[in-house]
Structure 1
Amino acid sequence: MALQRDEVVRTALRLLNEVGIDGLTTRRLARELGVQSPALYWHFKNKRELLDLMAEAMTAEALPPAREPVPEEWPQWLAEDARAKRRALLAYRDGARVHAGTLPTAGELPAVEAQLSALCRAGLRPRTALRLLLTIDRYLMGWVTEEQAWSQDAAERAQPAFPDEALRDLPLLREAADTLRMTDHDADFEYGLQVLIEGFRSAIAREKASGPGDPLA
């Protein structure tokens, strides 16, 4: 039976959890599938396209493509989407590194258009609406990259990060030590996400008041 694209992507995701992104080579993937490397290029042009497809598969269940965002509820669904995407990326080893730098696939573009449509009906212009989506997405990617690296390092670290004696003469850092040590990833992620969303409330208000043109261009 001919090799199917879905099978290639599923196998790549399984290998990702076993060997990480640095160990995921097309040669290793081809060997796992029982084919020669050139056979893979019927399904993707290069490793970058494979990573795009893997990123799409990671978030497909968390972010169903048919969802219809409600303009008036944009803060809620933006936050819910970010949380769902974070969970999806954390479910895979190096999930954020796989997703970083990817472009939306053709199958994902209608969902992006639906989000832009809702944000524009809420008061943003297309350029600013896309900036909002990209800003949140890049915050998410950076956050999860650091979160996964921190978790991996913590498992290998001989002693807790920033021991109490290192903070003895640093009262402000000592007071905020839990945040410094990233003891509550969820709360810290949520804080940054809400700061971003509140900032875009101001952008929407400015655009509604400014009339034609793009004040943020």
Structure 2
Amino acid sequence: MTLYYSLVFLLLVAEMVIFLALIVPLPFTWRRKLFTFVSESPLVAKLQYGMKITFIFILILFVDSVNRVYRVQIELAAAHKAEGRGGAAVLGGSERMEVQARKFYSQRNMYLCGFTLFLSLILNRTYVMILDVLRLEEEVKAFKGDPAAKKGSSLQKAGNAGEIGKLKEELAAKDRDMANLKKQVENMQKEYNRMGDQVSGSDATSRKGQ
């Protein structure tokens, strides 16, 4: 197995571990703290962005493996068709084993990439469903008057991992832009006052001369 397919296999194992961690029954308080941390962490947001790029490459590998399987199937079908017409064996023993090996490796890579992509969709959907369940549980506890329930908690606002961290970064950027704009307005005001003073001084001088 090549290096990149080995990395895909490790990613598949990591996805399986994460999926098991998501479905493990935990107390409501622990699960809420865990998902609050995941939703607010900028590091998780960056990791999620990197994983999206990784899955694009895995999709390319999946399409390539499907193409390889298709070509091997055509090659084997052409060989069986030629042998069925009563001709000589198109593929010898070693050649047939080599083609069968290429077929096996291509199918293995196709299944590996396909299951990795499929499990990523399942993980995303499972995460969203757990967030919805936690929000509903918090609403129920709030209606019952449970002091442990927090109305308007971060779980009710979290749609994607790191969304709050991203909003904080955008707010800081807007604050910086506002500060720069304020400095520009102050400089323009000073320049306007200076020019007004010069015009007033020249008018007074002209009047004295008259």
Global fold match (TM > 0.5): no
Higher relative contact order (CA 8 A, sep 6+): 2
TM-score of the aligned structures, taking structure 1 as reference length: 0.27
| Structure with the bigger percentage of helix | 2
